[in-house]
Amino acid sequence: MNKVKRLFNILLMLVNNIGIVGALVSILEIPWDSALDPVLFWSAVFLFCVAAAFLWKGRNRSRILCRVVLCLILYVFLAFVFWEELFAGITLVLQGPAEKLGEIYGFRIYWPQSALLQETGRDAEELRTLGTMGMLAILFPLELAAGYFAARGSWLPVAAGNLLWFTAACACNVFPDFFYLVFCVLGVLAGFARRDFRNDPVAGLQAALWMAAFTGLAMGCAYFIVLPAADEQYERSLLERQQFYMEVNQEWIPRIRSFFAGHGMGAGVDVSGELGRKEIFSDTLTETYLVTADSLPRGTLYLKGFAGKDYGKDAWKADTDAHFREYYEREGLKLPEDFRHLVNIGWEAARAMQGGEPGRLAIQELGGSGSYSLYPCGAFLTDGYQVNSDGTCARRDTVYEFEYYLLEGHGRNGRLPWGYSRLEQQYRQYVYDNYLEYPREELAILTKQLENSDIRRDSIYQCVLDIAAFLEGQASYDLGAGNNPAGTDFVEYFLFESHSGYCMHFASAAVLILRYFGIPARYVTGYAVSPGKFTQAGTGEWKATLTGENAHAWAEVYLDAVGWVPVEMTPGTAATGDSRAELLVRMGTLEGDIIMQSSAREEARQATLRELEQARMEAAARKEAEEPGRPWFLDPEGKAEKDGEALTEGSSQAAPALQQGGKGSQDPSGMTGQAPALGSGEGSENRERQKAPVLESRKGSPGFLLLNGLGAVLLIWGLRRGIPATARGRIRYWHRKLERASARDRIALMYGNLERALRLAGYAGKGPGDEQALRRSLKRMCPEITDAECRKLWEILERSSFAREEPSSGEQSQVWAIQCAVVRKAFAAAPVRRRLWLWLRVYSG
């Protein structure tokens, strides 16, 4: 019965593990093919369940404690010995999810091993094994704790596990796959069966199997019948909800606002990368900013707030400083002292090309607070501004001002100052490597359309015009357009199904299409102020009051040596009040060979790549000559500095962008680079040499761990059977056990020993309750035992079980004598293959 109960517990733990652990892996989006080895992982999880079930079995607390302590000591020992590999594995698995969470919730975790992992050049199989081991190292103590509660029939581990993944799902905004949900449900229901059938594990197992079958049937009905109806109802309720929100925003909030005259409600629309309407209530009529200019701007001011780099299902994701730094370090580029210099490239470029006096702009926040300080393209940000690597500016005071040039495109051929030029060249490399990402697999329909389209690629200007025409032909402007349904892509749904959208849709589509054609582009949200919004104040200044209605989204294109330039792609945008064509014309007349991409650029790029590779190899050789014994992985920063210097010196004149196997589309004009990836870097030979012995010692690590685990299990089992392994020690242990027991227990122990001896020697009867079988077995094993003695033995056994009086010492002696005779005969008569087992299970002497 205990065995069945244990089997049930193991199955229960396994099912819950598959559900909960699988759900967590799915939520954290840990890739199975690159970070985890499924076979190794699930086999180890199964072993953990078995180990947990055996470790916590029994009621003798000291024994259980002994087992668990030994197990933990073994775990700590192994973790100490392999701490580097485990830490690397944990980093490999959790770095991605942690960065993703950090982007959402605004924290950062430093992963020093990431650079190590990248540069060690391990192959995919090793990385998977490392990742799996790391995850298992985290899971093992949790499994141990869960086994304790599971052995006592507690609900706690199941409830805690399910709550954990659900919380993680809400935090990460990702729900696990249906496969793992099924196991979670089965695990919970199996818990019901265990609770109700705790006294009859066999029936409990049957009941659990039946429940699983019927639950599967119910889940099938739920998936195929109820779920589509629920989805439909959800979509309907979403639409109704959005309509409700719009009604509240457009009618009720203004009424309430006018009631509280002079007070704003809410902060208006805060710019972000979210796609679709997610905010519950927003007051689009509240005054949010007051823009004051010293002179009337000659064109629309695009005041940028948020800049999105990566296209996601629900939102554009911003670039992070950590990613920026990591790229620069990896490429050996020199990090700018302050990120605002990257923004000021545009100002310098405009000043160089247009000249003249810059304008002055002051922005004042009215009511509430936004996340960003807004500034237009061509602004000069002083050191008081806290600028991020993507050019966005964190919110500072409620009033801030700066000088700016409105990028008009007319002017002389200007060049950036040397410092800015060098800065821009390196930043350009970064832009071309990171702002050309086009998710080809997710946008299959759009890709196919673009392959067959007539969009010209001769120049950026022509390309932009054609893209704008394409968008205008595909969709119309509609501020009331709803969100895309679940399971569809935001842009594809806009372009090919709904054919209606607003600035968010047009800007997102434009950025993706620009990237497809090899033009670095990004998605920006902020406020757009047309000249018509400005009114002249008595002091001669021009003021414009912005509300939520002025919030806008647009695309920005990176022009070499100029920086990020806004491109308006929303047709007939009422907020701008400008002709789109005018701005495009302005942009398109920017002169110079910097803008026009040509095939010569590609050749220059390849040459620079070769120069860079050579420089790195020379630097590695130099370092090896200086410090031959120094491991390559201990000084990544020194290597980076040397590389950076080489790069800066070698590339100050011509500055084609450097590609590093970046993603992107195939562009025949050579605007983007699908340049072959650089070599593995400096010291690649060293790295190979160093890799071999390191890898050799690690190759056996999974097997070594498993062996250790097996050894631990055997050790614990051996300890449980009898601490001394010698024959004399076992006899002493047996006698000690008998002495400590009461008279009844002594009879039971002796009978148990006798019965085990009979069974292992092959003379087992039907079961312990069968007197006839016992007598037959005894007679066969030991013919010298008479019938009377057998009968007497049985009477003693019955009396010791059911009678009130304790067995007398005479009766105990009789049982002892019979038991000794039987055990002696069993050892003599047992077949060879059973001798060891007999020696382990039966006490003699």
Partner 1 sequence: MAVVTGFYFVMLYDFRGLRFLAACLICIPLLYLVLLIPQARGCTVSLEAEADTVVREGLIALTLTVENRGFLPVSRIWIRGVWKGPGEEEQKIQRWLCGIRGRHVTRVCLEFPALHCGRGEFILTKAGVCDYSGIFALPARERGGNAEVCVLPRLFSIPRQVLDPAALRIRNGERDGDVFVRDFHPGDSIHRVYWKLSTKTDQLQVRDREESASVMFYLDGVGKLRTRPKLWDDFLDRACSLMCFFLEEGVPGLQIVWQEEQGEACREIQEPEEVWTWVYALLMQKGEIPLREGQDVFPASGFCLREDGRLFLGEQCVYE
> Which residues contribute to the site for partner 1 (CB under 8 A)?
169-170, 173, 175-178, 181, 185, 189, 192-193, 195-200, 202-204, 206-207, 210-211, 214-215, 217-219, 221-223, 226-227, 230-231, 234, 237-238, 241, 486-487
- The C-alpha atoms of residue 445 and residue 447 are separated, in whole angstroms, by 5
188 vs 362 by CB, closer to partner 1: 188
What does DSSP assign to residue 377? T
Residue with tokens 């073994």: 74
230 vs 677 by CB, closer to partner 1: 230
241 vs 410 by CB, closer to partner 1: 241
228 vs 676 by CB, closer to partner 1: 228
69 vs 222 by CB, closer to partner 1: 222
- The C-alpha atoms of residue 842 and residue 733 are separated, in whole angstroms, by 12
Q: Are 164 and 20 in contact (CB under 8 A)?
A: yes
Report the nearest approach of partner 1 to the CB of residue 150 (Å): 18
The alpha helices in 494-592, defined as continuous H runs, are 503-516, 580-588
Report the nearest approach of partner 1 to the CB of residue 507 (Å): 23
Lookup: tokens for 580: 């789109």
Report the nearest approach of partner 1 to the CB of residue 417 (Å): 50
Residue 389 burial (CB count, 10 A): 21
Residues forming beta bridges with residue 476, ordered by sequence position: 500
227 vs 723 by CB, closer to partner 1: 227
Report the nearest approach of partner 1 to the CB of residue 206 (Å): 6
What does DSSP assign to residue 319? P
Q: Are 339 and 412 in contact (CB under 8 A)?
A: no
Report the nearest approach of partner 1 to the CB of residue 525 (Å): 22
The one-letter amino acid code at 421 reads S
Residue with tokens 């056994």: 797
Report the nearest approach of partner 1 to the CB of residue 18 (Å): 16
- The C-alpha atoms of residue 705 and residue 711 are separated, in whole angstroms, by 10
181 vs 821 by CB, closer to partner 1: 181
76 vs 209 by CB, closer to partner 1: 209
Closest CA to 389 of 347, 424, 340: 340
Report the nearest approach of partner 1 to the CB of residue 814 (Å): 35
234 vs 281 by CB, closer to partner 1: 234
Residues 6+ apart with CB under 8 A from 721: 840, 841
229 vs 634 by CB, closer to partner 1: 229
What angle in degrees, to the nearest 10, is found between the helix axes of 61-81 and 124-151? 160
Report the nearest approach of partner 1 to the CB of residue 238 (Å): 8
Backbone torsions φ then ψ of 370, nearest 5 degrees: -95, 175
Report the nearest approach of partner 1 to the CB of residue 185 (Å): 6
Give the sheet arrangement for strand 551-559, strand by strand.
375-376, 301-308, 521-529, 551-559, 563-567
Report the nearest approach of partner 1 to the CB of residue 237 (Å): 7
Backbone torsions φ then ψ of 363, nearest 5 degrees: -125, 130
Residue 419 burial (CB count, 10 A): 11
Report the nearest approach of partner 1 to the CB of residue 183 (Å): 12
| Cα dist from 836 to 731, 823, 841, 844, whole Å | 16, 14, 9, 13
Q: How many residues make up the chain in this entry? A: 845
Report the nearest approach of partner 1 to the CB of residue 395 (Å): 28
217 vs 256 by CB, closer to partner 1: 217
Residue 96 burial (CB count, 10 A): 18
| Cα dist from 227 to 188, 487, 601, 692, whole Å | 21, 14, 55, 53
20 vs 609 by CB, closer to partner 1: 20
